[in-house]
Amino acid sequence: MLNNILQEKGAIKLGEFTLTSGKKSNFYVDIKDACTDPKVLKIIVDEMEKKVTSGAVAGVELGAVPIVVATAFKMGIPYFIIRKQSNHGMKKLLIGTPENGMNIDIIEDVVTTGGSVLKAAELLTTSGMKIGKIITVVDREEGGKELLKEHGLKLESLVKISEVLKK
How many angstroms separate the CA atoms of 30 and 80, rounded?
A: 22
Show the domains of the chain with their CATH numbers.
Answer: 37-160 (3.40.50.2020)
- Measured in whole angstroms, the distance separating CA 105 from the mean position of its chain's CA atoms is 10
- Residue 27, sorted as left (phi over 0), alpha (psi -120 to 50) or beta, turns out to be beta
β-pairing, 57-60 vs 130-139, is unpaired
pLDDT at 97: 87
pLDDT at 101: 92
> pTM here?
0.94
Decide: residue 55, CB within 10 A, 0-12 exposed, 13-18 middle, 19+ buried: middle
Per-residue pLDDT of the chain (167 residues; tens, 9 = 90+): 888 898 888 898 989 998 877 889 999 999 999 999 999 999 999 999 999 999 999 999 989 999 999 999 999 999 999 987 766 666 678 999 888 999 999 999 999 999 999 999 999 999 999 999 999 999 999 999 999 999 999 999 999 999 988 75
